[in-house]
Chain A
Amino acid sequence: MYRPFTMFPAVGKPGRTPNIPSKNELSEIDPQKGNSMRMSLLAVLIGLVSPADAMAQAAGTDPLNYSGPAWSPYWVGALIGLLSMLTFYFSNKPIGASTAYARVAGMVGKAVAPRHTESLKYYQDNKPAVDWEVMLVVGAIVGAFVAAWHGGELTGQWLPPMWQARFGVDSYVMRTIVTLVGGVLMAFGARLAGGCTSGHGISGALQLSVGSWIALICFFVGGIATALLMFRL
Chain B
Amino acid sequence: MTAQTMGRNSVQYISPTRERVMGVLFLVAAVAMWFFFLRNTEPGVVTTFGMTPGGSKVVAPDWVFETSFALQVLIFLTAFLGVYQLARGFKQRTNLILGIVSGFFIFAFLAWGTAGVSLNLAGLLRVMVIRSVPLTLGAFSGILCERSGVFNIAIEGMMLTAAFTATLFGSVTQNIWIGLVSGMLSGLLLGGVLAVLAIKYKVDQIIAGTVINIFSTGLTSFLSAKFLQKYQELNNPGRFPNWDFPGLSQIPFIGPIFFSHNLYVYTMYALLIVLTVALFYTRWGLRLRSVGEHPKAADTLGIPVNRTRYMAVLLGGLMAGFAGTYFTLGSVGRFDEVLTAGRGFIALAAMIFGNWNPLGAFGAGLLFGFSDSLAGKLTILRVPIHNKFLEMAPYLVTIIVLAGVIGRGQPPAAGGKPYEKE
Do A and B actually bind? no
